[in-house]
Each structure stands twice: as structure tokens, then as C-alpha cells.
Amino acid sequence: MAFKEFEIKKLYYSIGEIAEMFGVNASLIRFWEKEFEILQPKKSKSGTRRYTQEDIDNFQLVYLLVKEKGYTLEGAKQKIKEERTKIITQQKTILSLKKIKILLQQIESSL
């Protein structure tokens, strides 16, 4: 997965930080915001986008469907509409299993 795992340290992230996390251009993020209702970050009075953890989670969902699973934009919109909770649960399970795998590999290498 291209998404880089990170520890949550701030309440808000900039568009540049989100772009770096996912390895995409800021223009793609702005484009997806126009296409997907679930991508609506808060904006300051000057129009600067401020992304919360929920915004990052929503972006990760879109990224998963479009970039990793190859859905079209319309297909991803439909999938999110129909199965959002299921997809999120599956992703959390996969992430937990990956963390367990890494931990087990570290234990094995220390033996």
C-alpha cells in the first residue's frame, strides 16, 4: 500500500502533508474533493484546507478504491455509497493483521 503509516500528532494537516502521505499531487486531492462528497475538509477564512483524521480516513478510502483496486470514479462513488462501513472494517482488519505480522517478524528475528 502506498499510504505511509504515521502517528497522529496534530489536529489538522495541510494539503501538502496529505499529498506526501499518499504520494499524490495536491491537484489530485482538490480534484477528488470535487468528485466525492465524503471529501470535504474544513477551510480557514483565507481558504486554506485543514484536514482532520476523519478527512484522512475518507481520503484513504477513496485512494484504496481508485488507486489500489482500480475502480472508476463513478464505481468508487457507488461502492462507497453501498458498502462504506464494510470497506472501512475490512481495511482496519487488514491494517491490524499487517501490524501483527511485523511484530511477529521482529520477534522471530530476535530469537
pLDDT given at position 75: 96
C-alpha–C-alpha distance, residues 94 and 80, integer Å: 18
pLDDT given at position 38: 93
**71 in Cβ contact with 79 (< 8 Å):** yes
Mean pLDDT by 10 residues, the chain (111 residues): 61 94 96 95 92 92 94 95 90 89 94 87
pLDDT given at position 78: 95
CATH of domain 15-110: 1.10.1660.10
pLDDT given at position 6: 56
- pLDDT tens track for 36-62: 999 999 998 998 999 998 999 999 999
Domain boundaries, the chain: 15-110
C-alpha–C-alpha distance, residues 42 and 48, integer Å: 8
pLDDT given at position 5: 57
Amino acid at 53: Q
**90 in Cβ contact with 67 (< 8 Å):** no
pLDDT given at position 91: 85
pLDDT given at position 2: 56
